[in-house]
Amino acid sequence: MPHLDGLRVIRSKIHGYGLVALRSFKKGEILVYADGVLWGEDDDFDDTYALVYSDDDDKEEYPNRYLDLTDQTRWINHACSPNAEVDTDINPDTGLPHAWWIATRNIKKGEELTYDYAFSGHLAEPCNCKDKVCIGLIVDPHDIDDVPKKLKPLIKKNRIKARIAAM
């Protein structure tokens, strides 16, 4: 696996491993590009580290695809008030799908990179990000009604409005 410039895998305070900034990054800066393998919704694959793949050019031809991250970016954690966002596309140089993360605010040296996983309600998982707007689950807050019954007690309902407003 190639070295990631300015980033390093660490033991995360949020969950498991994380990716931390070794230098400061400015808002709008591209933090890292990632390789991945593309899968269809009906394929039998391990989706633990897969992103929803969307490419504006061929969305209609391939509606539901996932990019399984094959490098250190698979360790970037979710946070409810993240400092980065991800996008996906075909890499024009290689013709292969890739992903990249952009800083949504200035990131200090030593800060862990995070983005909003925005899981569908039925895929929600408990969240440990500890952000002030943490709603208790890793889920798209617009999709809260579809959260499985057993996870509903974890939802911090009074924070949903603020969380949506901050998106």
Q: Compare residues 84 and 127 and give the one whose CB is closer to Zn ion.
A: 127
Whole-Å CA distances, 142 to 72, 90, 146: 29, 28, 9
Residues that bind Zn ion (CB under 5 A): 80, 127, 129, 134
CB of 27 to Zn ion, least distance (A): 21
Q: Compare residues 82 and 97 and give the one whose CB is closer to Zn ion.
A: 82
| Amino acid making up residue 143 | D
Q: Compare residues 109 and 130 and give the one whose CB is closer to Zn ion.
A: 130
CB of 127 to Zn ion, least distance (A): 3
| Amino acid making up residue 115 | Y
Distance between CA atoms of 86 and 98, rounded to whole angstroms?
10
Identify whether the C-beta of residue 8 lies closer than 8 Å to the C-beta of residue 20: yes
CB of 79 to Zn ion, least distance (A): 6
